[in-house]
């Protein structure tokens, strides 16, 4: 899932400063799971902002709504009624959600309340870790299900590098060396032979280097 972190309240307050009728919009998908922009977080932020406005003597309204998904037009339209009265929409969705709302309500000023950080998952309650770099050409079948693109700090395909020390990465002792993990796992599974094949330089055109990407599934298209 997409993992995002809340922006500091002071930064959010600055973003909505010009508005008198703010609509805080949550998303029921990834950001609900990573507890950054779900219904609960939307209510907490809205309440905090209302308190701040009252202290500063500002008048206006801060309304809330949480959509099933912000990244799909059929759910974004549900915002229409409340969006009509708002002069600023504060989206607590990921960067995708913010853009879908901005596209659907082109006459509204839409601002982000979160910093979208990475593709990852929950390792334990309250801790999310990065697992996927969205490179567009998966190599997990070669590396025992451990991604060298995002979990190796250098994204190297024929590791480890000289900075691997006692299973840790040289950039930070808290980071495990992905290639040590890959070696250990392949060894345990009796598949070390996979490492004999030297991987050629990666084609990064399937990643961000090729510009914004599209995924087309013709049979899913209605028109």
Partner 1 sequence: MSTVTTEEAEAGFVPKIVAFCCYYCAYSAADLAGSMRLQYPPTIRVIEVPCSGKVDSIIILKAFEEGADGVYVAGCLEGDCHFLKGNFRAKRRVAAVKKILDQVGLGGGRLEMYNLSAAMGTRFAEIALEMTRRIEELGPSPIRPETMAARAKAQGEVNQR
Minimum distance between the CB of residue 8 and partner 1, rounded to whole angstroms?
A: 7
Tokens of 195: 């490492």
Could you count the other beta carbons within 10 Å of the beta carbon of residue 41?
Answer: 22
CA distance 13 to 102: 19
Q: Which of 101, 96, 57 is nearest to 75 (CA)?
A: 101
Strands, E assignment, the chain: 2-6, 21-27, 61-67, 88-91, 109-112, 114-124, 127-132, 168-169, 172-176
Residues of this chain that interact with partner 1 (CB under 8 A) are 8-10, 40, 43-44, 47-52, 54-57
Closest separation between CB of residue 15 and partner 1, Å? 14
Give the integer Cα–Cα distance in Å for 108 and 97.
Answer: 14
* Residue 120 CB, nearest approach to partner 1 (Å): 22
Instruction: State which residue, 52 or 176, has the beta carbon closest to partner 1.
Output: 52
Provide, rounded to whole angstroms, the least separation between the CB of residue 174 and partner 1. Answer: 22
Q: Choose between 45 and 86: whose C-beta lies nearer to partner 1.
A: 45
Nearer CB in complex with partner 1: 35/99: 35
Q: How far is the CB of 119 from partner 1 (least distance, A)?
A: 26
Q: How far apart are CA 70 and CA 194, in angstroms?
A: 41
């Amino acid at each position: 899932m997409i993992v995002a972190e809340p922006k500091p309240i002071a930064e959010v307050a600055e973003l909505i400063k010009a508005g008198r009728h703010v609509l805080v919009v949550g998303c029921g998908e990834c950001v609900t799971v990573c507890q950054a922009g779900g219904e609960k977080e939307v209510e907490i932020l809205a309440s905090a902002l209302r308190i701040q406005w009252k202290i500063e003597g500002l008048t206006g309204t801060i309304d809330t709504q949480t959509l099933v998904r912000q990244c799909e037009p059929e759910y974004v339209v549900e915002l229409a009624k409340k969006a009509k009265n708002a002069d600023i929409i504060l989206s607590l969705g990921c960067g995708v959600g913010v853009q879908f709302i901005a596209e659907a309500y082109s006459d509204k000023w839409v601002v982000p309340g979160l910093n979208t950080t990475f593709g990852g998952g929950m390792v334990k309650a309250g801790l999310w870790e990065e697992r996927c770099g969205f490179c567009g050409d998966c190599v997990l079948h070669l590396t025992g299900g451990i991604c060298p693109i995002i979990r190796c700090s250098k994204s190297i395909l024929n590791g480890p590098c000289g900075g691997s020390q006692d299973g840790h990465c040289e950039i930070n002792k808290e980071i495990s060396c992905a290639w040590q993990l890959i070696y250990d796992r392949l060894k345990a599974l009796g598949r070390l032979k996979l490492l004999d094949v030297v991987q050629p330089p990666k084609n990064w055109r399937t990643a961000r280097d090729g510009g914004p990407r599209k995924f087309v599934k013709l049979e899913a298209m209605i028109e």
